[in-house]
Chains A and B, each alone.
Chain A
Amino acid sequence: QVQLVQSGAEMKKPGASVKVSCKASGYTFTNYLIHWVRQAPGQRLEWMGWISAANGNTKYSQKFQGRVTITRDTSATTAYMELSSLRSEDTAVFYCARASCSGDSCLDNWGQGTLVTVSS
């Protein structure tokens, strides 16, 4: 079965960077896009961007442009999301999710989420 398993919780200081991993299994990794979504405590889901696992092409939300980098390692069937210049408002759960449906237009499988806490 399709599984996306994310790395564990992180605690970071303001100004630092965090890199979250998302290990995919149960499907052909390079056939799908992987998206990243942020959810601050009690807040709505926020789309951050995606990466094509096939060719590494990326697309980022303007809100995170310049601070977020999404990469992938096809040999490890793993995607990564790195967020830099962290501030307290970045405290959130970060999810990876696989794009599916016609035209890669929905997110049909999600990771379990990774809590990132930013505090001095």
Chain B
Amino acid sequence: DIQMTQSPSSLSASVGDRVTITCRASQSISSYLNWYQQKSGKAPKLLIFAASILQSGVPSRFSGSGSGTDFTLTISSLQPEDFATYYCQQSYSTLWTFGQGTKVEIK
């Protein structure tokens, strides 16, 4: 299976901060990389697909980049509603895998 590793596992940030989360695949996955946001007790929500395409309805402060093995999710100006756990997920292989998650907490 393709392993997905996120860093950091958690971070503390303030409202208005720029936040960057990275995701590394154990082999090249082209641009088959999605990002999800999960709030406590809720189902995940798709933010970005194909590494950099913003899902409809998602605020433009979210952006994604990367290809091959290294990917980044950026929140340009953190808002109170963005405190959550973020997961990357690869769909290059027929056997999908998720990263371990990055918890974004209030500083």
Whether A75 sits at the interface, judged by CB under 8 Å, is no
The main secondary structure of chain B at its interface with chain A is loop
Complex-state Cα separation, A61 to B36, whole angstroms? 20
Instruction: Take A44-B87, A101-B49 as given contacts and tell me if A108 and B97 are in contact as well, using a CB distance cutoff of 8 Å.
Output: no
Whether B55 sits at the interface, judged by CB under 8 Å, is yes
Whether A112 sits at the interface, judged by CB under 8 Å, is yes
Chain A residue numbers with a CB within 8 Å of B38 are 45
Chain B residue numbers with a CB within 8 Å of A113 are 43
Chain B residue numbers with a CB within 8 Å of A9 are none
Residues of A in contact (CB 8 Å), total 22
* B97, closest chain A residue (CB): A47
Chain B residue numbers with a CB within 8 Å of A102 are 50
Complex-state Cα separation, A103 to B29, whole angstroms? 14
Complex-state Cα separation, A39 to B87, whole angstroms? 12
Query: Interface residues of B toward A: which range?
Result: 20 to 34
Instruction: Take A101-B49, A106-B49, A112-B43 as given contacts and tell me if A61 and B99 are in contact as well, using a CB distance cutoff of 8 Å.
Output: no
With contacts defined as CB atoms under 8 Å apart, how many contacts are there between chain A and chain B in the complex? 61
Chain B residue numbers with a CB within 8 Å of A106 are 34, 46, 49-50, 89, 91
Contact A45 B44 (CB under 8 A): yes
Complex-state Cα separation, A94 to B29, whole angstroms? 26
5 residue pairs bridging A and B, Cβ less than 8 Å apart? A62-B95, A107-B34, A107-B46, A108-B55, A113-B43
Excluding A107-B46, A108-B46, 7 further A-B contacts by CB distance (< 8 Å) are: A59-B94, A59-B95, A95-B43, A106-B34, A107-B44, A108-B49, A111-B43
Residues of chain B touching chain A, judged by Cβ–Cβ distance below 8 Å, are: 1, 32, 34, 36, 38, 43-46, 49-50, 53, 55, 87, 89, 91, 94-101
The 10 closest A-B pairs by CB, nearest first: A110-B43, A105-B91, A106-B49, A47-B96, A45-B98, A101-B49, A106-B34, A44-B100, A108-B46, A44-B101
